[in-house]
Amino acid sequence: MVTIDDFDFKDKKALIRVDFNVPLNAEFQVTDTTRIEAAKPTILKVLEDGGSAILMSHLGRPKGSRNPEMSLGHICDKVSEIIGVQVHFVEDCVGDEAQQAADALRSGEVLLLENLRYHAEEEKGDTAFAEQLSGLGDIYVNDAFGTAHRPHASTTIVAQFFPGKKCFGYLLANEIRAIEKVMQTGEKPVTAILGGAKVSSKITIIENILPKVDHLIVGGGMTYTFVKAQGGSIGDSICEDDKLDLALEILEKAKQQGVSVHLPSDVLAADDFANDAKTQVVAVDSIPDGWQGLDAGPESLKHFRRVIANSKTILWNGPVGVFEMENFSKGTIAIGHFIEEATKQGAFSLVGGGDSVAAVKQFGFQDKVSYVSTGGGAMLESLEGKTLPGIAAILTP
């Protein structure tokens, strides 16, 4: 794997694909700086070598038009503040203005290009557009895991114009290593905790990870599809009735491969999908009509704790309850604590994919697990066993 450490950037311009698709409030202020902070080590390595950095990113979905609300100019000051260097900004990413700004860049300086997606050619993976981008720098660095699953001009196509001069930034390299640690080189026992609402959205992940894990903990809304498939009564709980046979197939495959599947034994049920609903703890297969399971119950959590405590490698993807509502967040918080305890005992823990990352941040676990992935869709596609185009483009000579 060719990383940024394989290059000396002295007097070189690094064209770095970062993922600065950050949330902004009504005043266009950045409300979560995680992605900018994640790119900082890669940018500083280039500057400390005596090179300069040209940063390219998208923001939002302007769909090929110049929507001023999605200008990367809004975040330039915040990027400067985090990196500790005054960042220059240019109001386009290709053309004469961008080329002149890149040419004028001196060692130790940083240039942020305007939103790539102001040009429809970016998402189309247009070769001519990618070639224009390539003219801005000497070495191409992809450090944007969050977009590595997209065959866009700046994430994939541009790499072909840098034979022998392309590499992974620190963030992307760390993401690849973290996934490899779970999927290939992880110390056993390996435990995957999969939550979320639907079996259908996790089916390819489940099928891909079964040969690689020893334990599979199933939580969240998809629990009830598995329980109903086995003849249990789930009341008004969420369920994919067209996936009952699939749930049974998964359980059979797990059995054949020697994987222990752990479903909740009890749940916190509510008489309404609301934080102030009446609640009761009931057996997962005996939920009364008019009630729905919204969180893992105390006995389930005791059992999950034992499984996690005995694990050496842990993957967590998806909450085990409706954590957005305080009264149904306790199961997800408990899982975070169990993983924290196991990590302290030497386990490697990877949290990835949308809602579980949101939960980890909301409840303050991001520094208590081994690695939190920055890429939602990219992380899920990696777990499905797909080779991401942005990664393949760097690996191709």
Q: pLDDT tens digit string along 220-258?
A: 999 999 999 999 999 999 999 999 999 999 999 999 999
Report d(CA 376, CA 369) in Å as an integer.
17
Whether residue 268 contacts residue 295, with contact meaning beta carbons closer than 8 Å, is answered with yes
Report d(CA 169, CA 140) in Å as an integer.
10
pLDDT cut 70: percent of the chain above it: 100
Radius of gyration for the alpha carbons in the chain, expressed in angstroms and rounded: 23
Confidence of residue 132 (pLDDT cuts 50, 70, 90): very high
CA-wise closest residue to 38 among 187, 169, 149: 169
Binding-site positions: 19-21, 35, 58-61, 117, 150, 202, 293, 324, 353-356
Q: How far is CA 375 from CA 70, 204, 270, 307, 339, in A?
A: 20, 18, 33, 27, 20
Average confidence score pLDDT of the chain: 95
Report d(CA 194, CA 327) in Å as an integer.
21
305 is known as an active-site residue: no
Instruction: Say if pTM beats, i.e. exceeds, 0.85.
Output: yes
pLDDT cut 90: percent of the chain above it: 87
377 is known as an active-site residue: yes
The DSSP letter of residue 119 is S
- pLDDT of 354 reads 65
63 is known as an active-site residue: no
- Residue matched to tokens 């991401």: 388
> Which of 17, 35, 166, 330 is labelled catalytic?
35
Asked whether this chain's domains 4-171 and 186-383 adopt the same fold, the reply is: yes
Report d(CA 248, CA 55) in Å as an integer.
48
198 is known as an active-site residue: yes
| Backbone dihedral angles phi then psi of residue 147, each to the nearest 5 degrees | -120, 10
> Which of 40, 198, 312, 368 is labelled catalytic?
198
Q: Where are the domains of the chain?
A: 4-171, 186-383
Segment 325-350 shows an average pLDDT of 97
pLDDT surpassing 90 at residue 385: no
Cα separation of the two ends of the chain: 11
Binding-site positions for (2R)-3-phosphoglycerate: 35, 117, 150
> Which of 195, 352, 354, 376 is labelled catalytic?
354
pLDDT surpassing 80 at residue 80: yes
State how far Cα 115 lies from the chain centre: 21
pLDDT surpassing 90 at residue 68: yes
CATH homologous superfamily for 4-171?
A: Phosphoglycerate kinase, N-terminal domain (3.40.50.1260)
What's domain 186-383's architecture? 3-Layer(aba) Sandwich (3.40)
The DSSP letter of residue 137 is -
